[in-house]
Amino acid sequence: MNYPNGKRPVVDKAVSPAGSTSQGYGNRGMTLEEDINATNAFYRSTGRGLIHKKPTPVQIVNVHYPKRTAAVITEAYFKQPSTTDYNGVYKGRHIDFEAKETKNKTSFPLSNIHEHQIAHMEAVIKQEGICFMIIRFASLGKTFYFSAESLLESWAKHLQGGRKSISYNYIEEAGHLIPFGYQARIDYLSIVDKLYF
């Protein structure tokens, strides 16, 4: 059987630890970004939300033209640091989030987040936008919705000499587990509905 996008599923042969509520069966070799992009495409096609991945601005420096009709970029640089990965509109509210994946089983390293992203999240919250992170613990097969407010609190503690990571237990406690679905693979808007609408 093929998925609606025409691609064959990749069977995940990893065995979950005993007693685990792992969602690894559903990931089927997909990355978090692919899962979110597929989810957003489903949201757009059904009119549920309008959320896109932000392109990273690039400065093209050198282009090679092997043929008149083809161009190959041979040198380019990122223009500026990006803010967060995704943004859009949902039920009349601005929505903005960062997506990160870690292989770590016990914590999420704060080194995966940058100061300009923290500043951007603070600005979104100040304007009453909906802002959060989607964090996937790849080795556990679990994906969480984690509010920007909780992230900012952990970041502030880190700056005051606290932990350089957010413990898995805290993310599990303060965040919301996102079950893996078929069409909306990472149905984060269901959590947004519970929290905001």
Task: Tell me the per-residue pLDDT of 57-99, one tens digit each, with 9 for 90 and over.
Answer: 778 888 888 887 788 888 887 776 678 999 999 999 999 999 9
Proportion of the chain above pLDDT 90, given as a percent:
69
What total of structural domains would you count in the chain?
Answer: 1
- d(Cα 6, Cα 4) in Å, to the nearest integer? 5
Q: Quick check: is 78 in a domain? A: no
Task: Tell me the per-residue pLDDT of 171-190, one tens digit each, with 9 for 90 and over.
Answer: 999 999 999 998 899 999 99
Under a CB-based contact definition with an 8 Å cutoff, are residues 22 and 142 in contact? yes
Q: Is 59 annotated as a binding residue?
A: no
Domain of residue 183: give its range: 24-55+83-196
Whether 127 has a pLDDT exceeding 70, the answer reads: yes
Task: Tell me the per-residue pLDDT of 132-155, one tens digit each, with 9 for 90 and over.
Answer: 999 999 999 999 999 999 999 999
Under a CB-based contact definition with an 8 Å cutoff, are residues 45 and 39 in contact? no
For the stretch 109-138, what's the b/e string if a residue is b when 16 or more beta carbons lie within 10 angstroms of its beta carbon?
ebebbeeebbebbeebbeeebbbbbbbbbb
Q: What is the DSSP letter of 50?
A: E
Q: Quick check: is 3 in a domain? A: no
Q: Is 34 annotated as a binding residue?
A: no
Quote the pTM value: 0.77
Q: Is 128 annotated as a binding residue?
A: no
- 36 burial (CB, 10 Å; 0-12 / 13-18 / 19+) is buried
Coil, helix or strand at residue 79:
coil
- 56 burial (CB, 10 Å; 0-12 / 13-18 / 19+) is exposed
- Per the listing, tokens 């900012």 go with 152
Q: Quick check: is 132 in a domain? A: yes
Q: Is 56 annotated as a binding residue?
A: no
For the stretch 62-95, what's the b/e string if a residue is b when 16 or more beta carbons lie within 10 angstroms of its beta carbon?
eeeeeeeeeeeeeeeeeeeebbbbbbbebeeeeb
Residue 97's CATH number: 3.40.1350.10
Closest CA to 95 of 194, 181, 192: 192
Q: Quick check: is 5 in a domain? A: no
Q: Quick check: is 180 in a domain? A: yes
Whether 195 has a pLDDT exceeding 90, the answer reads: yes
The mean of the pLDDT values for the chain is 85
